[in-house]
Chains A and B, each alone.
Chain A
């Protein structure tokens, strides 16, 4: 029991670090050759944005399912392993969306034509099933599109693209720095925990483990406070005056605009299906 608690804290820290390494900082897919990687990052992001809008406005389950298939095709064309992509997109948000959508199936939440009767006056309605499928496929496709963009675009490039789309500079810079330093801090926590273990063998009880974590949080807060002052000095020293400038070196070609054209066509088709396939 004691060893389990010790391992739980260690596993949590190691797990957090490994998750960050694999998700936030992994650039390996973005550096591979693939269809989306070859597109200009601005146009790639704009195209994904248009597809997201199409998914948000769509009311046809057929269109949403087709859009999800398009995501899978894009992932395959962008050198993303299908199983890896499915794992990344089906975990968490779509899974939660599925559970949230379950009550909407039943007649006491969504009255309508009974499709399957479960007895005692409870039934799954056609309207309920339709609503739940629309909700779930919309969430799944939206998450898949967002994951596609983040996997095929290096983090630093993504931040530059956000600036091009007029996302406020302070927000983008804060985001960039958070990503830059969160890794440093997690590594510090991991090292501190290893140092504690190397001196006392292992964290022997839940209470001691909790104390070590609390101490780590306090120490980390102080370090981050010191670090922010020093980083600001480093920025000032290199000419920062409150508005950081960024060098843009993107070039768009005919293939990029073709991609954007296709996404716009999908958007228009999505609107058309709302009228004729609903």
Chain B
């Protein structure tokens, strides 16, 4: 039985037909796996997630999701997309895009409502998500009244309300304080334990080992330049530095100034 959720073969994508965003991406995502796509700014990580969510289609190459090829030709197949949307949830990088309803409550229930989930089941999910994210007190608030951390939590909750089999996350911890970042990582960990496939695009290297088993690195040429187990990819400091994922950093520890490649996960372990 094929356990592949996504299979991409030599995928190209460009904006307006002239600004290349992805140039020959080949990768697979297996059911129940945790995959991180890392790369510097502008390497096409968000575009790749958008393709995986069926919001854009490849210019060239093939992209299979659950064994069906995603292409412009599928656009009119309502039954397929209804099923696809139930299976795949996408957390956008900017929560202000994700939270378009007048209140937090409406944002969280928006997805399941559109998918025909019964009101009783929706309320059950809402209650459970409020407990997990600690957002019960925010339900009647308007999204613009929330802090960035609260917005991010609500954005993730609004997607988890769909109970997707696959969770796509675009920079889930960018700009968050360590506590909120930790809470989100813990939630993703629990989601994976339930069997959810998780694909995360990020350049926050300090969370990768916790949220991903496999890592794909997209380089400046907008193609995958390395794939492998997270610890193996992250161990190659020279490679990461070459691809703008870490930088050389000088700082003082008591009376000693020292310089080393800087990743947030290790920068307080002087070498």
Point out residues on A near B: beta carbons under 8 Å.
25, 27, 31, 154-156, 159, 176-177, 179-180, 183-184, 227, 230-231, 233-241, 244-247, 249
A156 touches B162 (CB 8 A): no
Q: How far is the CB of A68 from chain B (nearest CB, A)?
A: 31
List 21 contacting pairs A-B, 8 Å CB cutoff, sorted by A.
A25-B142, A154-B103, A155-B142, A156-B103, A156-B105, A156-B142, A177-B100, A179-B102, A180-B102, A180-B143, A183-B144, A184-B96, A231-B97, A234-B97, A237-B53, A237-B90, A237-B92, A238-B110, A238-B162, A239-B86, A240-B110
B102 touches A245 (CB 8 A): no
A239 touches B111 (CB 8 A): yes
- Bound Cα distance from A207 to B105, whole angstroms: 46
Point out the residue from A159, A233, A244, A245 that lies within 8 Å of B55, measured CB to CB.
A233
Point out residues on B near A: beta carbons under 8 Å.
50, 53, 55, 78, 81-82, 85-86, 89-90, 92, 94, 96-98, 100-103, 105-106, 109-111, 113-115, 119, 122, 140, 142-145, 158-159, 162
- Bound Cα distance from A60 to B199, whole angstroms: 69
- Bound Cα distance from A244 to B109, whole angstroms: 11
- Bound Cα distance from A31 to B140, whole angstroms: 10
Asked if A180 meets B144 with Cβ closer than 8 Å, knowing A155-B102, A231-B97, the reply is: yes
- Bound Cα distance from A64 to B86, whole angstroms: 55
B114 touches A241 (CB 8 A): yes
B102 touches A244 (CB 8 A): no
B contact residues around A240 at 8 Å (CB): 110, 114
Query: Apart from A155-B142, A159-B102, A239-B162, what are 4 other A-B pairs with CB-CB below 8 Å?
Result: A233-B55, A237-B92, A239-B111, A240-B114
B106 touches A247 (CB 8 A): yes
Residue among A183, A239, A240 having the largest count of chain B Cβ atoms under 10 Å: A239
B114 touches A245 (CB 8 A): yes
B contact residues around A156 at 8 Å (CB): 101-103, 105-106, 140, 142
Main SS class of interface, B = helix
B85 touches A233 (CB 8 A): no
- Bound Cα distance from A25 to B78, whole angstroms: 37
- Bound Cα distance from A25 to B122, whole angstroms: 27
Q: How far is the CB of B56 from chain A (nearest CB, A)?
A: 8
Chain B residue nearest to A25 (CB atoms) is B142
Point out the residue from A180, A233, A241 that lies within 8 Å of B142, measured CB to CB.
A180
- Bound Cα distance from A179 to B144, whole angstroms: 10
- Count of A-B contacts with CB under 8 A? 88
A contact residues around B119 at 8 Å (CB): 247, 249
- Bound Cα distance from A237 to B90, whole angstroms: 7
Point out the residue from B82, B100, B106, B144 that lies within 8 Å of A239, measured CB to CB.
B82
Q: How far is the CB of A101 from chain B (nearest CB, A)?
A: 37
- Bound Cα distance from A193 to B171, whole angstroms: 29
A180 touches B113 (CB 8 A): no
Q: How far is the CB of A231 from chain B (nearest CB, A)?
A: 5
B contact residues around A179 at 8 Å (CB): 102
Chain A residue nearest to B94 (CB atoms) is A230
- Bound Cα distance from A247 to B103, whole angstroms: 12
Q: How far is the CB of A177 from chain B (nearest CB, A)?
A: 6
Point out the residue from A234, A245, A249 that lies within 8 Å of B98, measured CB to CB.
A234
A239 touches B102 (CB 8 A): no
Residue among A233, A237, A249 having the largest count of chain B Cβ atoms under 10 Å: A237
Q: How far is the CB of A238 from chain B (nearest CB, A)?
A: 4
B97 touches A246 (CB 8 A): no
- Bound Cα distance from A179 to B103, whole angstroms: 11
- Bound Cα distance from A154 to B102, whole angstroms: 10
A contact residues around B142 at 8 Å (CB): 25, 27, 155-156, 180
A contact residues around B105 at 8 Å (CB): 156
B contact residues around A238 at 8 Å (CB): 85, 89, 110-111, 114, 158-159, 162
B contact residues around A27 at 8 Å (CB): 140, 142
Asked if A176 meets B97 with Cβ closer than 8 Å, knowing A237-B90, A241-B78, the reply is: no
Those 4 A-B pairs whose CB atoms lie nearest each other, nearest first: A156-B102, A239-B114, A238-B111, A156-B103
B85 touches A239 (CB 8 A): yes
- Bound Cα distance from A177 to B103, whole angstroms: 11
Chain A residue nearest to B126 (CB atoms) is A247
A contact residues around B114 at 8 Å (CB): 238-241, 244-245
- Bound Cα distance from A246 to B109, whole angstroms: 8
- Bound Cα distance from A245 to B94, whole angstroms: 24
- Bound Cα distance from A241 to B79, whole angstroms: 11
Q: How far is the CB of B130 from chain A (nearest CB, A)?
A: 15
